[in-house]
Amino acid sequence: MATIIRILPDDAINKIAAGEVVERPASIVKELVENAIDAGADRITVEIASGGRDRIRVTDTGCGMSHDDALLSLERHATSKIRSADDLWDLRTLGFRGEAIPSIASVSRMSIETRDRQSSVGTRVDIDGGVIRQVSEVGRTPGTSVTVSDVFFNTPARRKYLKGTDTEWRHISQAITGLALAHKDIGFSLSHDGREALRLAGGTIEERLEALFRIRIGDGAILLQSERQGLKVEGYVVAPETAKKSASQVIVVNGRWVRHRGIVQAVKDGYGG
């Protein structure tokens, strides 16, 4: 009797898994920037073309990868960030699942250029829809540059539902704002279609708030702090008389930029009260 249950091919599995990681171009930017942060970068450059639909490039000054690690990074569930399930109880990194790079590679055309500080030459890997097309040596400084082109080129239904360039760019800009606020010590550069949109030097939280939101502590902005039962909360709010009509919230939990409706509403309720 013929079976009706079938094991999906790897190509289909990868594309389905990518849907959990890659929602839109901003998701790719977030994953790549978080990888750069975990790599110890002190400077991250993000270059965007057409709202991320055509090209995303993230370049960092982190530790870089060896030839073998560059290839391993494309294997699902391969990660340098945890060794066992026990490590999940004391995470010190932003990523740990080992899914971001292979998921992104499966629905785009990707190139990885990287070099660690122990190697005299770098490695370049070109991937097309999850398939490695070429591996070569490249001269470069230590660090990593990942270029993602033609997002969702092999999943037309997903590409069709991407929003317009302006909308996708706005999501990317919001992601970089959140990540930059969460990691004030790291310098960030962001450009869109060749035009620089943001340049931040590493510094204090006060300097970053002023650069991102044009607000100063004590001059329309108020510092709030509280610590109870092992939970520490710190925040900056704009005084009601100087607040803009278009409200904006950036939430950071344990160094992670997050979006959580419950926290957003709690802040709104407290602010309004």
CA dist 132 and 111 (Å) reads: 10
pLDDT at position 92, please?
Answer: 59
pLDDT at position 57, please?
Answer: 98
- Compute mean pLDDT per 10 residues along the chain, 273 residues long, and list them: 66 62 90 94 98 97 94 73 48 59 93 96 96 96 97 90 95 95 96 97 90 75 83 79 66 80 80 64
Long-range Cβ pairs for the range 209-215 (8 Å, 24+): 209/181, 209/236, 212/177, 212/180, 212/181, 213/248
pLDDT at position 82, please?
Answer: 42
Chain length of the chain: 273
The model's pTM is 0.83
pLDDT at position 190, please?
Answer: 98
Listed residue (43, 65, 47) closest to 56, CA to CA: 47
Domains (ranges, CATH) in the chain? Answer: 10-200 (3.30.565.10), 217-272 (no CATH)
Give me 96's structure tokens. Answer: 């740990």
pLDDT at position 89, please?
Answer: 47
pLDDT at position 167, please?
Answer: 97
pLDDT at position 259, please?
Answer: 78
CA dist 30 and 53 (Å) reads: 15
CA dist 131 and 224 (Å) reads: 50
